Amino acid sequence: MTEGRLQDKVCIVTGSTAGIGAAIAELFAEQGASVVVCGRRAERAEAIAHGLCERGFDAMGQRCDVTDDGEMDRLVADTVGRFGGLDVLVNNAADVIGAHGPDRDVERLSVDDWESQVRTDLRSVYYMSKRSIPHMRQRGGGTIVNVSSVGSVIGWPKGAAYLACKGAVNQLTRSMAIDYMKDHIRVNALCPGWIRTETELKRIEEDPALAERQCEQMGIARLGEPREMANAALFLACAESSYVTGTALFADGGWTLR
């Protein structure tokens, strides 16, 4: 059997019980990694991991709310305890609902909602990286992929907290890339565009004209697929991108070109 592009690597993918995160976890497992599936829904994380194990892959499912430091601590500790180390971290967990209002401009955005968005979308990237980097250093290096957004560089109405967090994630990515080059730890951001997730399909169901309006903004006039984002994350995580660090890869169907 041909070895996968992440053969024998240990990978954590936060927010991997649905959408882009689930697609990343599945692809990484198919490429030979031992994968930790995690999210707020413990049963869902365990079910996805069980399904991967039934297909002959190595996976573990665990609850992890990335707003809870203790749960993040346990996630990293349990990963290292089970698999012996950590090579790849994908910081995918995010509050995508907070990207779309209806009352998310600064004037009407509550302080609690602001703090919740920052904890989920930005602080968790910092904290998971902080806990993971020492284990990567022990392995002689590693990779971190921070899932950001086209919203890191463009704006839309009612997205104040989400857009601010994603812009900060890109800058945090650059800072970490500089700081950990000496440890052979590469850090990059993946910036998806409009992707066919459960959340977005629900928005289209509520507003059937949304798809047409959105596609008008993109050169490739369709929703992206979670698997396409997983392919991009795989490139950033594996040795094929060994000369790439501190960058933001936009996988957005040409949205930011417009």
* Rounded-to-integer distance, Cα 213 and Cα 258, Å: 13
Tell me which of 65 and 212 has the higher pLDDT: 65
Q: How many domains does the chain divide into?
A: 1
**What spatial distance separates the first Cα and last Cα of the chain, rounded to whole Å?**
44
Distances (CA, A) of 63 to 16, 37, 53, 84, 215: 10, 8, 17, 20, 35
Could you tell me the two tokens for 129?
A: 């990286």
* Rounded-to-integer distance, Cα 132 and Cα 165, Å: 21
Q: Tell me what the mean pLDDT of segment 22-39 comes to.
A: 98
Q: Is residue 44 part of a domain?
A: yes
56-98 confidence digits (pLDDT tens): 999 999 999 999 999 999 999 999 999 999 999 999 999 887 7
Q: What pLDDT is recorded for position 52?
A: 98
| C-alpha R_g of the chain | 17
Catalytic residues: 162
Phi, psi of 125 (to 5 degrees): -65, -45
Q: What pLDDT is recorded for position 113?
A: 93
Q: Tell me what the mean pLDDT of segment 106-116 comes to.
A: 94
Phi, psi of 252 (to 5 degrees): -135, 15
Residue 33 has pLDDT above 70, yes or no: yes
152-163 confidence digits (pLDDT tens): 999 989 999 999
Closest CA to 138 of 218, 217, 176, 84: 84
Residue 1 has pLDDT above 80, yes or no: no
Q: Is residue 16 part of a domain?
A: yes
124-152 confidence digits (pLDDT tens): 999 999 999 999 999 999 999 999 999 99
CATH assignment at residue 190 = 3.40.50.720
Going through the chain in order, the beta strands assigned E by DSSP cover 10-13, 34-39, 58-63, 88-91, 142-147, 185-192, 248-251
Instruction: Write the DSSP string, 186-245.
Output: EEEEEEE-SB--HHHHHHHHH-TTHHHHHHTT-SS-SPBPHHHHHHHHHHHHSGGGTT--
Average pLDDT, the chain: 94
118 CB-side CA count, 13 A: 10
Q: What pLDDT is recorded for position 212?
A: 81
Q: Tell me what the mean pLDDT of segment 111-134 comes to.
A: 97
Could you tell me the two tokens for 165?
A: 């967090």
**Lowest pLDDT segment from 1-5, 113-117, 190-194, 248-252:** 1-5
Nearest-5° Cα angle at 119, 247 to 94: 60
SS3 118: helix
Q: Is residue 201 part of a domain?
A: no
pLDDT above 70 covers a percentage of the chain that reads 99
Q: What pLDDT is recorded for position 199?
A: 84
Q: Where residue 207 falls among pLDDT bands split at 50, 70, 90?
A: confident
Q: Is residue 152 part of a domain?
A: yes
Give residue 154's domain range.
Answer: 10-194+227-257
